[in-house]
A and B are shown apart, each in its own frame.
Chain A
Amino acid sequence: MRLARAYLTAVQALPLVAFLLLWQGAVTFVPRWKFFFGSPLEILHHLVSRSLDGSLLTDTGITAAEAALGFITGTVLGTSIGIGLWMSRIAFVISRPYVIALGSAPVFALAPVIIVWVGTGFFSKVVIAGLSTVFVAQAQAYNGALEADEQHSMLFKSLGASKLQILRKAIAPGAMVWVISGLRLNVGFALLGAFIGEFISSSDGLGHMILVASGLFKMSLVLAGVITFVLVALAMNLLISATEPLLRAWVARYL
């Protein structure tokens, strides 16, 4: 079985290796193609040299921090808003059209406005990343609260639970379970938000690095940035996968 798995991995890697070889071969034989496509060796060179001088790590760290901070604020805020909307029927009815309108507005198109308001620094990206996640979290929390209310209110009523107890033991965990299952989606949105913010105006971060490189037609550096970005996204996804069961256990235990 183990052998079969190793074999499978090898076979899976084969197309990638073939592609890289072909790519490298092509740009070696026709040097002007390098301008259009970059080359695997050059990408590797950028990744290694920028890792060694620390700039790649700084850029990656900044982008990841912006996304993470935005993700956390957006999720917490969205969850609170979602549960709040469940608690107040009136607030829900009044705010519904606005929430729908804001939720469907392209946050990325608003990014320039946010940069004008908050500045070109770190926090404007946090705000954009937060805005990109807050609506998903809010919708998940509201739907989760609604479902918990429909399915479990009879049980809690029969147990003579108070309003606060219902909120704490049924609505909040119900909402949070839905939010938790939406985290993976949202972490992608947060990263994209941070990236877009950097792409519009910034002095560091992966988005900045890619922006500058593309301005200079350094295709290999652009691609090195993209690869790093994908790696960050993968790492954040792994982190979410690792924390998900812990969060669920926490919800079960303490709510």
Chain B
Amino acid sequence: MTASPSPVLQLLALRRVSKAFNSTLVLSDFSLSVNAGEVVGLVGPSGCGKTTILRIAAGVLPSDSGERSGMCLEPGPAQIAYMPQESALLPWRTLHLNARLPAELWNVSLPEADSDISSLFARLQIADGAQQLPSQASGGMQRRTALVRALVGGARLFLLDEPFTGLDYDVKIRAQSILLSHQRERNGGVVLVTHDLEDAIALCTRLIILSRRPATIKRAIEIDGIRERQDLIAIRTSSTFRHLVSEVWDELQYLAEPT
């Protein structure tokens, strides 16, 4: 790995952010930044505030205090694609038209978006269901549609909340490599919230382990290099990978224990 000579591009940063829901403190002085080229994974015990962090980062939930800044917030075409945990598809639109929503809102060329969507649908094996309504589609199909919706439209930062749940293994690997290729192509960034440690380690350049509520960064692990040479399947067989999985697993076990 050579150190990148260009200055670091900060896509999005949260600084000393706090958030409480009905006097339950979920975040307290939490800071996080994502730079261009990074894939940041958030793992931690359930209910620790991962989704809240992502929502605040996406700008759909106001924080009680703290700052949100970064290149992706500058005026101009929208830059952030947020994929919520519930797929949030519009029930009156077909899957294809759901995936096209950001392109419509952002005045991106629609024919181009349509052909992008069609090819992504085909690669994710939901082309047959493109004209179905969400209510007629399975949970996995809805999930893939929400992922495609996040990918088309030209965003640079992807905030993904459990994007791969309910997908078959082969489809999941395919979806992950599509995501990474989009991110690399645009020199973009990803924040990934997941329960799946192996996914997190295979995909991320930085893995952040969160403590229990209120979430603080327990540990941040830079995962360098293992992704550069290998594909997403081969990574999972390497000894570095196995080692990291057990290391992070131990950490999470420790966090999950009642105090």
A positions within 8 Å CB-CB of B: 151-152, 154-161, 165, 169-170, 173-174, 177, 248, 251-253
B82 A173 Cβ-Cβ under 8 A: no
Q: Closest residue to A154 on the B side, CB-wise?
A: B60
The 9 A-B pairs of least Cβ separation, nearest first, read A158-B82, A160-B78, A155-B88, A158-B58, A154-B60, A157-B60, A158-B60, A252-B93, A177-B92
Q: Closest residue to B54 on the A side, CB-wise?
A: A158
B92 A174 Cβ-Cβ under 8 A: yes
A152 B90 Cβ-Cβ under 8 A: yes
B105 A161 Cβ-Cβ under 8 A: yes
Which B residues are CB-close (under 8 A) to A152? 88, 90
Task: Show 8 residue pairs from A and B whose CB-CB distance is below 8 angstroms, ordered by the A residue.
Answer: A151-B88, A156-B105, A160-B59, A161-B105, A165-B105, A173-B90, A173-B93, A252-B94
B60 A248 Cβ-Cβ under 8 A: no
With a 10 A CB-CB cut-off, give which of B90, B91, B104 has the most chain A CB atoms.
Answer: B90
* Residues 74-124 of B contacting A (Cβ, < 8 Å): 78, 80-82, 84, 88, 90-94, 97, 101-102, 104-106
B185 to chain A, nearest CB (A): 21
A252 to chain B, nearest CB (A): 5
Which B residues are CB-close (under 8 A) to A248? 92
Q: Closest residue to B73 on the A side, CB-wise?
A: A160
Q: Closest residue to A157 on the B side, CB-wise?
A: B60
Which B residues are CB-close (under 8 A) to A159? 78, 82, 101-102, 105-106
A154 B104 Cβ-Cβ under 8 A: no
Instruction: Using A154-B84, A158-B82, A169-B105 as known contacts, list a sample of 5 further A-B pairs with CB atoms less than 8 Å apart, ordered by residue number in A.
Output: A157-B60, A158-B58, A159-B102, A173-B93, A252-B92
A140 to chain B, nearest CB (A): 14
Give which listed residue, B60, B80, B92, contacts A173 with CB less than 8 A.
B92
Q: Closest residue to A253 on the B side, CB-wise?
A: B97
Q: Closest residue to A148 on the B side, CB-wise?
A: B90
- A252 vs B84: C-alpha distance when bound (angstroms): 22
B204 to chain A, nearest CB (A): 22
Which B residues are CB-close (under 8 A) to A253? 97
- A146 vs B92: C-alpha distance when bound (angstroms): 15
With a 10 A CB-CB cut-off, give which of B58, B59, B81, B105 has the most chain A CB atoms.
Answer: B105
B90 A157 Cβ-Cβ under 8 A: no
Give which listed residue, A155, A161, A169, A177, contacts B91 with CB less than 8 A.
A177
Q: Closest residue to A156 on the B side, CB-wise?
A: B105
Which B residues are CB-close (under 8 A) to A154? 55, 60, 84, 88
- A83 vs B141: C-alpha distance when bound (angstroms): 32
Which A residues are CB-close (under 8 A) to B93? 173, 252
- A248 vs B136: C-alpha distance when bound (angstroms): 15
- A159 vs B90: C-alpha distance when bound (angstroms): 14
Given contacts A152-B88, A174-B92, A252-B92, contact A160 B97 (CB under 8 A): no
A159 to chain B, nearest CB (A): 5
- A159 vs B105: C-alpha distance when bound (angstroms): 8
Interface membership of chain B positions 114-151, coded 1 if the CB is closer than 8 angstroms to chain A and 0 otherwise: 00000000000000000000000000000000000000
Which A residues are CB-close (under 8 A) to B58? 158
